[in-house]
Structure 1
């Protein structure tokens, strides 16, 4: 490795460190805002289904504090997500062409929007199904239901956060296609395995009945197919630009 290459590596590591520090600063600020907003959010969620039909308890002196911290972290991550996406884009930007830089930055607001859609789908569709199913098992076994508030929200976050991340799939696929690390041919080859993984995910996070699994798996599969479609759209534009370049300047 030459001296110039070593300096380049050091500069890249320094830039990465700087961007991570920016993300951490925004995350801390977001967590502070989340802690301030935690009480009204928790009260709101407590007064809507499925939480409105149960009584909450704490089983440890730390449960209420843990509940506040979990919400602070969740809100902090939500606020920080656009910043994370921007700094990821800014870090890889030097390796992109000017047209690719302009095209890829527009993914950031759509990524944030899809994350919110995933959270909403997880909370309003999947989480109630999972909660009512587990509650029905308790009743069938004649077990008195006594839920801890911290455990209730941990159960909720364990369902909705993975789904919100899965809903980022179209943006990730489009970005990787844009920087030529992925193409629709690879996605077509991987389709059967992707379907299997999505069905397994849907089965794990929903009650063990076919209808619930199908209701969750179908949107995830549609999301995958939409990702393939958008990857193909971007890939065809890339091929057209490459062909135009070769006609004008010759092979690269």
Structure 2
């Protein structure tokens, strides 16, 4: 029996779209799980080298800030021999649970390009041919921005937060003994949150396409966005001006880039509308 030809997006019902979405999600989850299994087998590298890297004072970020402090003649906590805290696991299955969930999140981070690819395969049939042509670099751009955010979170946000919170004490009577899940959660939030925040230009691109965002709106709320970014920077970094500026600057740059992206989308849309209007006038 001959295989039925695939339906075009215009011929698909709502249930057909749901079925299509289900298979894209299944393939995405399967890719994350497979990569997660590989990460599970690389336990020593994932935990000792990557996750516990910001706990060690020979971490590249600490060495850099130490050199900057020495150059400026400032006493820096980044030049210490070790961070004054230990990591414990107080639950019977705490370490195994941390191993499982860390592997899954590692699978998501490494497999992000494929997840974006599956999302793009689901969305792209609804676009016009010229829109698909202009969006060929979507997967590469989205993945690049995400990995840039992940690296920024890992090398800047996570070590600044760990260094401050790990060294902070209210009294010499209290020792910092952090739970394994709490430590991993701090690193994970820093990395994933920054990765998603760096997707701002992509989000603005699609919001502009559907008419929910314009450059004027972005400019109008730029001051409010600045306040939000500074508050966000104050929450995820130590309470010193330098750290907040280091985190805030890339986000503000992404916001400005998003304004330019929105302008480009509207210019292309205006050219397209002008061509359609010219074609209609000729036909009339």
TM-score, with structure 2 as normaliser: 0.77
Question: Which piece of structure 1 moves more, 100-109 or 241-250?
Answer: 241-250
**Contact 2:142–2:199, Cα closer than 8 Å, also in 1:** yes
Q: 1:11 to 1:49 in 2, by over 3 A?
A: closer
Pick the aligned partner of 1:209 from 240, 249, 263.
240
Q: Which has the higher helix share?
A: 1
The number of residue pairs the alignment matches comes to: 247
Work out whether 1:12 is the aligned partner of 2:17: yes
Shift of residue 181, structure 1, vs aligned partner: 4.6
**Equivalences for 1:81-100 in 2 at 5 Å?**
81-100=112-131
Shift of residue 151, structure 1, vs aligned partner: 2.5
Q: 1:250 to 1:84 in 2, by over 3 A?
A: farther
Residue number in structure 2 paired with 1:34: 39
**Take 1:47 and 1:97, find their aligned partners in 2: how far apart are those partners?**
47
**Take 1:47 and 1:197, find their aligned partners in 2: how far apart are those partners?**
30
**Equivalences for 1:67-146 in 2 at 5 Å?**
67-138=98-169, 141-142=171-172, 143-146=174-177
Q: 1:250 to 1:92 in 2, by over 3 A?
A: farther
Shift of residue 48, structure 1, vs aligned partner: 3.5
Residue number in structure 1 paired with 2:5: none
Larger radius of gyration: 2
SS of the equivalent of 2:176 reads coil
**Contact 2:39–2:107, Cα closer than 8 Å, also in 1:** yes
**Take 1:7 and 1:230, find their aligned partners in 2: how far apart are those partners?**
32
TM-score, with structure 1 as normaliser: 0.86
Structure 1, unpaired ranges of 5+: none
Work out whether 1:59 is the aligned partner of 2:95: no
**Equivalences for 1:217-228 in 2 at 5 Å?**
217-228=248-259
Residue number in structure 1 paired with 2:227: 196
**Take 1:43 and 1:206, find their aligned partners in 2: how far apart are those partners?**
23
**Take 1:6 and 1:220, find their aligned partners in 2: how far apart are those partners?**
42
**Contact 1:126–1:206, Cα closer than 8 Å, also in 2:** yes
**Contact 1:122–1:159, Cα closer than 8 Å, also in 2:** yes
Work out whether 1:237 is the aligned partner of 2:268: yes
Instruction: Kindly provide the CA deviation profile for residues 197-248 of structure 1, in whole angstroms up to 9, marking residues without a partner as x.
Output: 2222111111223332222112111111111112212321221232233223
Superposed CA RMSD: 2.5
**Take 2:87 and 2:132, find their aligned partners in 1: how far apart are those partners?**
49
Shift of residue 81, structure 1, vs aligned partner: 1.7
Shift of residue 141, structure 1, vs aligned partner: 2.0
Instruction: Kindly provide the CA deviation profile for residues 71-127 of structure 1, in whole angstroms up to 9, marking residues without a partner as x.
Output: 211111123322221222222223211011122241111111111111111111111
Residue number in structure 2 paired with 1:249: 280
Structure 2, unpaired ranges of 5+: 1-9, 58-81
**Take 1:47 and 1:176, find their aligned partners in 2: how far apart are those partners?**
38
